Amino acid sequence: MRSHTYNDTLGSASIMARILNGKALAAEIQRELKDNIANWMSLGHRAPSIRCILVGDDPASHTYVNKKITAARNVGIDAEVIRHDVTISEEMLIAEIEQLNRDSDVDGILVQLPIPENMSERKVCCAVAPEKDVDGFHVTNIGKLCVDMSTLVPATALAVIEMLRRFNIETLGRNAVVVGRSKNVGMPIAMMLHSDNKHENRLGMDATVTICHRYTPKEQLAFFCQNADIIVSATGVPNLIKADMVKPGATVIDVGITRVTDANGKSRLVGDVDYDGVSTVAGAITPVPGGVGPMTVAMLMQNTFQAARSLRDKSLK
Amino acid sequence: MRSHTYNDTLGSASIMARILNGKALAAEIQRELKDNIANWMSLGHRAPSIRCILVGDDPASHTYVNKKITAARNVGIDAEVIRHDVTISEEMLIAEIEQLNRDSDVDGILVQLPIPENMSERKVCCAVAPEKDVDGFHVTNIGKLCVDMSTLVPATALAVIEMLRRFNIETLGRNAVVVGRSKNVGMPIAMMLHSDNKHENRLGMDATVTICHRYTPKEQLAFFCQNADIIVSATGVPNLIKADMVKPGATVIDVGITRVTDANGKSRLVGDVDYDGVSTVAGAITPVPGGVGPMTVAMLMQNTFQAARSLRDKSLK
């Protein structure tokens, strides 16, 4: 089903991969979501709401949170940032989360990571009530995802699955490689990719999945990638996936995002994939930026609306 | 590190795989456990206790429950079966589980599967309090396992990991294939096999893991197995894993257990692996019966003692 475009700019006849434009798809999903939220509110519900907790002054975290708040407001979600100085104690932070858990005007709670190193990320993430955990990091939500129950799913992982679906990439019985085993990204992607689509959450993609990571020898990583119909890389290692590791026609999803400074001192964002090389071999590829990143924000908005509806359904029972 | 024994009985020089004797290892673990429980009780603690709920009269289920009760009593665990007619309602069953959850004399609760088809296995398993869930099937325990937290781990999956460890099978950076994606067996095995050993539960094996299942094409299953240092098969499909699919020297763990009737009308238990063929190629292999089965029972006993200690520690806080 993939379409080819000829690389005219290079004056050659080499076939270029279809670009999976995450930015455009995210915009489309957010338009749908805006309509759905407006319809839902026309039934008398208040706007879905999200609170983003931001600790400290990491510039990247501020950028991410601002993107989330802007996107939320654009689709009709009531969104506020709660800022804290880096000196806040874990105890105080958890007390605040618990207060938000009890607040019936709040549907989604997000703690922007990373949090200060003297705090336990696991403890803080698990303080969020599972039904308001729009990041899907609570162990109960992870557990539900892993047994294919309907739940709030980590947004980046959901973004990858949603892109495969909406771009009609076949997965059933295909070989997929997930590079990276982080608990918030690589692991849930591998979980959905290999699971049974007939189960409750319908997120299973029925692919044969190989999970590679820091201890996978380089030549074995190449071996598995060369045999893969789908490669999902989520490591933060620039240029890890090169053209000679990719089977012609394969789909390559680049979840990595790393800020690098080039020889001219200019800073830019790159993924895990050698985009220029791989796009001459792959059948489809996500750009960085403009691929998985914007889709992650869209999935977070989707999760917030899902949380709002579930909480409303629950309160009616 | 594997040792070879020559197949003298066949009068040939073919090298036979090392047999990973699960029965003997389980006996050894249960002796250790018996000592540890006796020591713990000498500190003034009551015996660890388990209650096995058995619904209906499936002969295989009765056999399994009897094995568990016998093993428990042998190591010093107080064990009782609670039998119910197949007509018991889901509601009644859950009410009983909740009563056992509250009973401070009970450390472990196990519902023997399968339960009658009119009941939700997920709902019944999640009725067991996570801290008494010695089968490790509760979503909270699955979630904890999947993020590498210490918890009660499904006994069969734990049996496979414990065999790899105690038989000194190297896993870091090695290629492992898990055939079968069931949520109680294949999935948690794949989870531990690929995870980081440095994380909290120390169960991660750091292998590169490929998860194969019903939609993996036969030739792809063969391809992945032929490249694997470790094959774990958990499908219930006899003779799925054949000699020509196994790399010389690989470790083959057979989790399957199926009752078959041979041409003479004799019934016997077989695994997923063509044992006679594969044992001439593999470096190490588990027999069926006498491999993973007895180790599963030993791990259930270990879980029960772990639950008893955790509950005691908690009650002291």
Reported ipTM: the value is 0.94
Determine contact: A35 vs chain B, CB below 8 A: no
pLDDT the model gives residue A222:
98
Q: How many residues does chain B have?
A: 317
- The pLDDT tens digits of the residues spanning A90-109 come to 999 999 999 999 999 999 99
Average pLDDT over residues A117-140: 97
C-alpha to C-alpha distance for A254 and A235, rounded to whole angstroms:
9
| Per-residue confidence band for A217, with pLDDT thresholds at 50, 70 and 90 | very high
SS3 A40: helix
Contacts of A147 in chain B (CB under 8 A): 122, 139, 142, 183
Pairing of strands B18-19, B284-285: parallel
Name the token pair of B74: 């042998």
Catalytic site residue A135? yes
Tell me, yes or no, if A123 comes closer than 8 A to chain B by beta carbon: no
What distance in Å separates the CA atoms of residue A92 and residue A76, rounded to the nearest whole number? 30
Mutate to test the interface with A, among B137, B149, B194 (most CBs of A within 10 A): B194
* DSSP label at residue A46: P
Q: Which residues of A touch B201 (CB under 8 A)?
A: none
Using the 8-state DSSP alphabet, how is residue B15 labeled? E
| Catalytic (active-site) positions of B | 68, 112, 135
Chain B residues with beta carbon closer than 8 angstroms to that of A142: 143, 146-147
Averaged pLDDT for residues A239-243: 98
Crossing angle of helices A155-166 and A292-316, rounded to 10°: 110
B139 and B108 Cβ atoms separated by less than 8 Å = no
Helices within B117-243 (DSSP H only): 121-125, 139-146, 155-166, 186-194, 218-226
- DSSP category for residue A306: H
CB < 8 Å to B212, chain A: 208
| B-proximal residues of A, 172-211, CB under 8 Å | 172-173, 175, 181, 183, 187, 190-191, 194-196, 206-211
Low-confidence residues of chain B: pLDDT under 50: 1-13
Q: Which of B142, B211, B223 sits opposite A194 (nearest CB)?
A: B211
CB contact under 8 A, A173 and B217: yes
In whole angstroms, give the CA distance from residue B27 to residue B35: 13
CB < 8 Å to B223, chain A = 227
Question: Mean pLDDT, chain A, as a whole number?
Answer: 95
B211 Cα to chain A: minimum distance (Å) = 5
Residue in A153, A210, A223, A200 with CA at minimum distance from that of residue A177: A210
| Residue B266 CB contacts under 8 Å (≥ 6 apart), including other chains | none
**CA-wise closest residue to A153 among A177, A184, A111:** A184
Q: Using 50, 70 and 90 to split pLDDT, how confident is the model at A316? A: confident
Confidence of residue A317 (pLDDT cuts 50, 70, 90): low
Task: Tell me which residue in B139, B208, B224 faces A211 most closely, judged by beta carbons.
Answer: B208
Contact with chain B for residue A226, Cβ under 8 A = no
pLDDT band of residue A315 (cuts 50, 70, 90) is confident
CA distances from A139 to A103, A154, B19 (A): 22, 11, 38
Q: Does A170 touch chain B (CB under 8 A)?
A: no
Residue B14: its pLDDT value, please? 63
Q: Tens digit of pLDDT for each residue in A66-87?
A: 999 999 999 999 999 999 999 9
Q: Is A105 exposed, middle or buried (0-12, 13-18, 19+ CB in 10 A)?
A: exposed
pLDDT at position A279, please?
97
Q: In what order do the strands lie in the sheet with A78-84?
A: A78-84, A49-55, A108-111
pLDDT tens-digit series, residues A242-270: 999 999 999 999 999 999 998 899 999 99
pLDDT band at A1 (very low <50, low <70, confident <90, very high): very low
Q: Give percent above pLDDT 90 in chain A.
A: 93
Whether residue A208 and residue B215 make contact (CB cut-off 8 A), yes or no, is: yes
Contact B108, B82 (CB under 8 A): no
Q: Which residue of A has its CA nearest to B220?
A: A175
Question: What residue type is B126 in one-letter code?
Answer: C
Above 70 in pLDDT, residue A8?
Answer: no
Look up residue B177 and give its DSSP letter.
E
- Answer yes or no: pTM beyond 0.90: yes
Q: Which of A139, A181, A227 sits opposite B149 (nearest CB)?
A: A139
Distance (Å, rounded) from C-alpha A9 to C-alpha A7? 6
Residue B22's nearest CA partner among B207, B193, B253, B256 is B253
| CB proximity A133 to B under 8 Å | no
> Which of B144, B207, B210 is facing A209, going by the closest CB pair?
B210
Nearest Cα of chain A lies from the Cα of B181 at a distance, in angstroms, of: 7
Which has the closest alpha carbon to B231: B189, B199, B173, B288? Answer: B189
Q: Which residues contact A168 (CB under 8 A, 6 or more apart)?
A: A1
Residue among A149, A195, A213 whose CB faces B194 most closely = A213
Question: How far apart are the C-alpha atoms of B252 and B160, rounded to whole Å?
Answer: 11
Minimum Cα–Cα distance from B195: chain A residue: A181
Partners of A80 in the beta sheet?
A: A51
Tell me what pLDDT residue A15 has: 79
**pLDDT band, very low/low/confident/very high, at A7 (cuts 50, 70, 90):** very low
Look at A181 and B187 and tell me if their CB atoms are within 8 Å.
no
